[in-house]
Structure 1
């Protein structure tokens, strides 16, 4: 699916015209949503360029972090899929890419031959640890315009939006 980055945002006046035909249109909600989407897309582009510079994708980064935070630096692929919120087929492709970079390797489980451990390599650990300062610095720079109170308010607002949106669609 291609994500378009809408730059020609509808104006309040245009939405008022639409409201005559669509009375359920809440102009403030639509404009806020479009602003939220615009900020998300901009920050996503920033992080994607940071990932690109380190030969990473968001998916690879997430899998590496999930493995990194485990005491033994290993998980079953089914656990990785569950923890990252994707299907097993998707995680299989991400793991294949990480294997090509020599950042993970597979080990059959001794107790269940159908299961395979995905293990973080020393090279993968070093690559991730080299990337994390840039990752954390980027997140800090993006949020630097907010003070502690702003961050607390934003956290509460995002939780409210998350709760409202989770009740809308169960399949996403």
Structure 2
């Protein structure tokens, strides 16, 4: 299913009208929610297009990054699934694509022959190292409108929001 991107948000005036009908409507929270949602969707859309220029996707890039952090750049598909928060079957499909392109390889470790592990190849690491400078440049450009202090504050506020969203009793 395609995701919608809401370009035309309700105005402050429209929300103020609606507050007469919905007394618990917090106008500032609704406006903030919509702006964060629009910024995220725009950022994701632009990043997806950027990743495609390097023949990558968000999931491929994420898996390659996670593997690059590990000793010998090896993880099991279940560990990857856990770190990403995705089903193992989803990870398996992405891994097949990465393996086909020579970016990762399956590996059986002598101490655990029951489980196939996945290792980032030298070619995969090279691709990652080629991509990262461009990625960091784009990320910096996204936030260049903020001072260092604003970015630090934004980070703290975004983290506070994320922690609130992780509460079990929120919804």
| TM-score in terms of structure 2 length | 0.94
1:70-128 CA distances to partner (integer Å, 9 max, x unpaired)? 12011111111111111111111110110111101101232333211101111111111
Summarize the alignment of residues 123-138 of structure 1 with structure 2, pairs less than 5 Å apart: 123-138=123-138
- Structure 2, unaligned runs of 5 or more: none
1:26-80 CA distances to partner (integer Å, 9 max, x unpaired)? 1110001101111111111121111000000000000000111212011111111
Provide the rounded CA distance (Å) in 2 between the counterparts of 1:80 and 1:164: 25
Provide the rounded CA distance (Å) in 2 between the counterparts of 1:70 and 1:158: 27
Residue matched to 2:148: 148
Instruction: State yes or no: 1:72 paired with 2:72.
Output: yes
Summarize the alignment of residues 22-171 of structure 1 with structure 2, pairs less than 5 Å apart: 22-167=22-167
How far does residue 141 in structure 1 lie from its aligned partner after superposition? 0.6
How far does residue 140 in structure 1 lie from its aligned partner after superposition? 0.7
Provide the rounded CA distance (Å) in 2 between the counterparts of 1:169 and 1:56: 36
| TM-score in terms of structure 1 length | 0.93
Using a 3 Å threshold, how does the CA distance of structure 1 residues 86 and 27 change in structure 2: closer, same or farther? same
Provide the rounded CA distance (Å) in 1 between the counterparts of 2:169 and 2:3: 20
Q: Give the secondary-structure state (helix, strand or coil) at the position aligned to 2:92.
A: helix
Q: Give the secondary-structure state (helix, strand or coil) at the position aligned to 1:144.
A: coil
- Structure 1, unaligned runs of 5 or more: none
Provide the rounded CA distance (Å) in 1 between the counterparts of 2:37 and 2:170: 21
Q: CA RMSD in A?
A: 1.6
Q: Give the secondary-structure state (helix, strand or coil) at the position aligned to 1:119.
A: strand
